Amino acid sequence: MGYKVAIVGATGNVGREMLDILAERRFPADEVVALASRRSMGVEVSYGDKTLKAKALEHYDFSDVDICLMSAGGTVSKEWSPKIAAQGTVVIDNSSAWRMDPDVPLVVPEVNADALAGYRKKGIIANPNCSTAQLVVVLKPLHDFATIKRVVVSTYQSVSGAGKDGMDELDRQTKNVYSLGELEVKKFTKRIAFNVIPHIDVFMDDGYTKEEWKMVVETKKILDPKIKLTATCVRVPVFIGHSEAVNIEFANEITTDQAHEILRNAPGVLVVDKREDGGYATPYEAAGDDATYVSRVREDPTVEHGLALWCVSDNLRKGAALNAIQIAESLINRKLITAKKKAA
């Protein structure tokens, strides 16, 4: 007996990726339902070899749905996730709406799957920010070995992190550069074609952006509240794949060789680190893949016990859709959820 899964926001970038990954991983679903706003009702999306038509969220009855993958933004999630959870459906939410709620687990399965047991308080599980998800997958095994004190991270985040509108803007502006057309700025605060923008989400009172704040508080909640972290988040003219330059200070000694060995054995991590031309991962290679790639591992001589490294991941997959589906798989594997049909 399989599960009934609903995807809210099925016509968006991440929603479509969720459908692809459910099919790829042969998720045990008897039925998958595509849901969206009334505006997108009737839009066709692919699920394996099937074509699904998006239904309207506001008219849908969730009483027989086991798992709802929510990828429709924070406003929709704030309104709908509690209503859906009240019908006995587990909601796995991709927005920032519930991440810092103390009664909602914030989960990256390779890092803190044990936290899943706490989902029953509200029936909601939060997916972390895309840039946090790939970072903690890399930090966790290193932290277990040598205890991380402090992290300095600079991100190079692709335009797909800003949704379809972000991808369209880069595409349109790039074409207009070559055709000498007008470079219209709509989605981003400055032109993104052949440029980088050190600004993602809104500015906060201390000068950090909300994206940078999310990385700080989410890393503490998922991994360890004692870790100090500072981030600079930058939007770059890449379609898919977030990259991060990471400096880590440890309490205890760790060598480059030890770090390589630890990361090679870590779940969800792929080490590509040859000290030669092209011997490292870039977002181009990571796009469409599940792993978080780690390259350029070296000792940081500015602190007593330090490492510097580069990590890259597909932000639509590990940063969003894949992580949500891994959460659902973990719920099943840990027997934290039973199909409603089976229970009946």
Q: Which residues are catalytic?
A: 130, 242
Minimal CA–CA distance to 170: which of 245, 283, 161, 233? 161
- Is residue 317 within 8 Å of residue 158, measured between CB atoms? no
